[in-house]
Amino acid sequence: MGRDAFRLPRAVYAGYVPKSADEFPEGFFERLDPSPDADFYVNPRLVAHIDEATIDALTQAYRELLPAGGSVLDLMSSWISHLPEEARYERVAGLGMNALELDENPRLNERVVKDLNVDPSLPFEDESFDSVVNAVSIQYLTRPVEVFAEICRVLRPGGIHIVATSHRMFPTKAIRAWHVLQPQDRIRWIQRYFELAGGFLPAESLDRSPASGTDPLWLVVGRKPAESGAPLAAEK
């Protein structure tokens, strides 16, 4: 399919609100390149995916939001996790598609290569992390609601999930919705992923973009309730 045919009008997805995880609009998660992600990520890319000022803004957000000393899961990780250099964490696990990229990441003390579009389950114990971060990669997930439900499972009560997004993408591997939607719509959809997964408090969005002329930075931040007891139900 050509890129023009791939780009549906924005209105198809912008105003649509699915009532359940089974009701996403048709074609939302399709990609120009439907071949296995393992093929696309076979060679390491030891590059920065956002400008230096945007990385600094993300690191500052992590400094403010991630509990010091806790356990961190860096999902869709590579050779750089953007965590504050001075911060010490009990555990930093990284999950991504390329073993060499993960090996080059000095912040990780656990590394898992796994394609979440094939199997969205996370190979970690229940309630084993204080924070889960996902930097500039949410547009590559084709089963995000299942992944978010897993994130909720592995987070401890009171834990935080931060999704950081900007405006760049590997176009052939990003879901169709990301080609069509404006940033504000994308943020709303990420909030919807949290809602449909269930178990999170309402997710907030934060614009942490540095000065103009650099890559923007938008965060969507969801927390698991601190109180133990019955988790919040997924919306039906």
Ligand X SMILES: C[S@@+](CC[C@H](N)C(=O)[O-])C[C@H]1O[C@@H](n2cnc3c(N)ncnc32)[C@H](O)[C@@H]1O
Return d(Cα 83, Cα 63) in angstroms, integer. 7
> Between 175 and 180, whose beta carbon lies closer to ligand X?
175
Please, what is the minimum distance in Å from the beta carbon of residue 96 to ligand X?
A: 3
73, 80, 160, 175: which one contacts ligand X (CB under 6 A)?
80
The per-residue DSSP string of 163-176 comes to EEE-S---TTTS-H
Return d(Cα 177, Cα 41) in angstroms, integer. 21
- From 27-35, 134-142, 181-189, 220-228, span contacting ligand X (CB under 6 A): 134-142
- Ramachandran sector of residue 7 (left: φ over 0; alpha: ψ -120 to 50; beta: rest): beta
Which amino acid is present at 142?
A: T
Please, what is the minimum distance in Å from the beta carbon of residue 194 to ligand X?
A: 19
**CB contact at 8 A, 216 and 183:** yes
Size of the site for ligand X (CB under 6 A): 18
Please, what is the minimum distance in Å from the beta carbon of residue 136 to ligand X?
A: 5
77, 105, 165, 191: which one contacts ligand X (CB under 6 A)?
77
Burial class (CB in 10 A: 0-12, 13-18, 19+), 14: middle
Binding to ligand X (CB under 6 A): which residues in 93-122?
Answer: 96-98, 101, 115-117
Q: Is 37 in the site for ligand X (CB under 6 A)?
A: yes
Q: How is residue 207 written in tokens? A: 């614009």
Which amino acid is present at 186?
A: R
Q: Is 33 in the site for ligand X (CB under 6 A)?
A: no
Return d(Cα 217, Cα 166) in angstroms, integer. 5
Q: Is 165 in the site for ligand X (CB under 6 A)?
A: no
> Between 103 and 115, whose beta carbon lies closer to ligand X?
115
> Between 137 and 191, whose beta carbon lies closer to ligand X?
137
Return d(Cα 41, Cα 34) in angstroms, integer. 13
Rounded (10°) CA dihedral 211, 215, 216, 219: -120
Please, what is the minimum distance in Å from the beta carbon of residue 69 to ligand X?
A: 22
> Between 101 and 146, whose beta carbon lies closer to ligand X?
101
- Positions touching ligand X (CB under 6 A) are 37, 41, 49, 76-78, 80, 96-98, 101, 115-117, 135-137, 140
